[in-house]
């Protein structure tokens, strides 16, 4: 009976299926505003979780970043151009290789 109870209690953890980055596809002027991005994870059981503080924020086109070092997801548009912003799960989250992304266009 104990074995049955242990097996019934075992359940696979939901896996990360998608990361949605908001605001999406933003157009701003250079130095016009500070933007707080959020990352929301959707899991295989259809639950959602705020991953803003858990993902690594980066840009696709450069090794440096426009993101704040101290506040996760906070970005200052200090360079003109079109950027793809990435929200990547940390190396400790092995449940998925899903990456969230959106675009940011900064004009002068």
> What are the tens digits of pLDDT across the range 30-49?
999 999 999 999 999 999 99
* Other Cβ atoms closer than 10 A to 26: 17
- pLDDT over 80 at 95, yes or no: no
Instruction: Go through the domains of the chain in sequence order and give each one's CATH number.
Output: 16-107 (2.60.40.10)
Q: Is 92 strand, coil or helix?
A: coil
Region 66-87: what's the mean pLDDT?
91
- Beta carbons within 8 Å of 107's beta carbon, 6+ residues apart: 27, 28, 29, 30, 80
Write down how long the chain is: 108
Judge if pTM exceeds 0.95: no
- pLDDT over 50 at 21, yes or no: yes
Output the pLDDT for position 5: 45
């Amino acid at each position: 009976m104990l074995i049955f109870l242990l097996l019934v209690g075992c359940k696979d953890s939901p896996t990360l299926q998608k990361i949605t980055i908001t605001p999406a596809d933003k157009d701003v002027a250079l130095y016009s505003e500070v933007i707080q991005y959020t990352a929301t994870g959707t899991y295989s059981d259809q639950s959602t979780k705020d991953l803003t503080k858990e993902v690594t924020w980066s840009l696709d086109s450069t090794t440096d970043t426009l993101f704040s070092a101290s506040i996760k997801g906070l970005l200052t548009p200090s360079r003109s151009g079109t950027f793809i912003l990435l929200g990547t799960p940390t190396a400790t989250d092995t449940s998925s290789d899903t990456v969230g992304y959106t675009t940011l266009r900064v004009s002068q």
